[in-house]
Structure 1
Amino acid sequence: MAERVTSEGVRTLDTVLERYGSTNRPQLRVADPDAVPTGEVVRLVVDDTEYRARIEADASGNAVLRGAFESPRLARTPGEGENHLRAWLQGLDLDYGRTVHLDVVTPDYKYGVRAPGERATYAATDAPDEGLASIARDLDG
């Protein structure tokens, strides 16, 4: 069984809730873009459920999270699956410009999001070794 960690016991990064695109969809801009692996698919815990998310770079080079999906393939092709991050953000009813916390559960591998003032508990999953991760990417690809 995986060890459990709380949001108080992990590094927390601030993100800013912003709008993007012509339809003003929500995104989370990471305040410290060097703290996350831009261009990679990571595990993202949203409301106690683990999904896959692609950390992207916007036109200005900022690291942003725009979705959380059921699989790595859907995270790479977001128009095909349900975006659980968007649904969660809309359910929070936060104003744009507000801070949302991004907890670093396992650096470069697993993160969690939580609303301001909330606490969370995560399963501390170790990242697979690079060889296994490469095989998994090839199978998903």
Structure 2
Amino acid sequence: MTDRIPSDHASVRTVRGKLARSGGTRRPCLRVPDELADSLDAGDYVRLVLDGDAAHARVSEDATGLVIRGAYDDKSLARDPGDAPNRLVEWVDANDRPLDSAVEVDEVESGYFYGVRVPGRRAVYAPSTPPADSLASIAEKLDGDG
């Protein structure tokens, strides 16, 4: 298995995403591009890499489509963030990205592993293997999601 995967590698699908407002709040969120909607559903949890830092995010749905409202340090915080730092909001602020601006969304592993980057920048990802379905379902049952 390759040690690192660059965003311009043939195995990585890159699509244009958009930052938007999350509901009635002023916090930014990531609109999931239509091209990725076939591999994701509301309620899915994904690994989301922002400037090299891996986070966990829950895919939600609003009247417009799929959206990611936050990215957190682990999956349990993605389920129930409370006052945990929202790494997506921090990334948007650190990169001075206004609402309605474009971002590149890299699909590294369909349905599980995505990267978000400023257009024109290159990223390199460390491969990650999704948990086995049976292990994931056991964990969700233990956490009360199943």
Q: Same fold (TM over 0.5)?
A: yes
What is aligned with 1:97? 100
| 1:38 Cα deviation after fit | 2.6
Task: Give runs of ≥4 in structure 1 deviating > 2 Å.
Answer: 20-23, 33-38, 135-141
| 1:129 Cα deviation after fit | 2.0
d(CA) in 2 for partners of 1:11, 1:22: 32
1:55 aligns with 2:59: yes
| 1:122 Cα deviation after fit | 0.5
What is aligned with 1:7? 7
Distance change in 2, residues 1:3/1:37 (3 Å):
farther
For structure 2, the 5+ residue unaligned runs are: none
Moved more, 15-24 or 38-47: 15-24
| 1:64 Cα deviation after fit | 0.7
Tell me the alpha carbon deviations over residues 74-130 of structure 1, each in whole angstroms, 9 at most, x when there is no partner. Answer: 111233311011011012112322111111111111111111111101112122221
What is aligned with 1:17? 19
Distance change in 2, residues 1:77/1:55 (3 Å):
same
d(CA) in 1 for partners of 2:113, 2:52: 13
d(CA) in 1 for partners of 2:23, 2:133: 34
What is aligned with 2:67? 64
| 1:136 Cα deviation after fit | 2.8
1:29–1:63 contact (8 Å) kept in structure 2: yes
2:77–2:84 contact (8 Å) kept in structure 1: yes
d(CA) in 1 for partners of 2:103, 2:56: 18
What is aligned with 2:30? 28
Q: Give the TM-score taking structure 2 as reference length.
A: 0.85
Aligned residues: 140
Q: Give 1 or 2: higher strand fraction.
A: 1
d(CA) in 2 for partners of 1:112, 1:24: 23
Determine helix, strand or coil for the equivalent of 1:13.
strand
Determine helix, strand or coil for the equivalent of 2:130.
coil
1:75 aligns with 2:78: yes
Tell me the alpha carbon deviations over residues 11-58 of structure 1, each in whole angstroms, 9 at most, x when there is no partner. Answer: 112211111233311011122122433311111111211111001111
For structure 1, the 5+ residue unaligned runs are: none
Counterpart amino acid of 2:19?
L
Moved more, 62-71 or 29-38: 29-38
Determine helix, strand or coil for the equivalent of 1:78.
coil
Q: CA RMSD in A?
A: 1.8
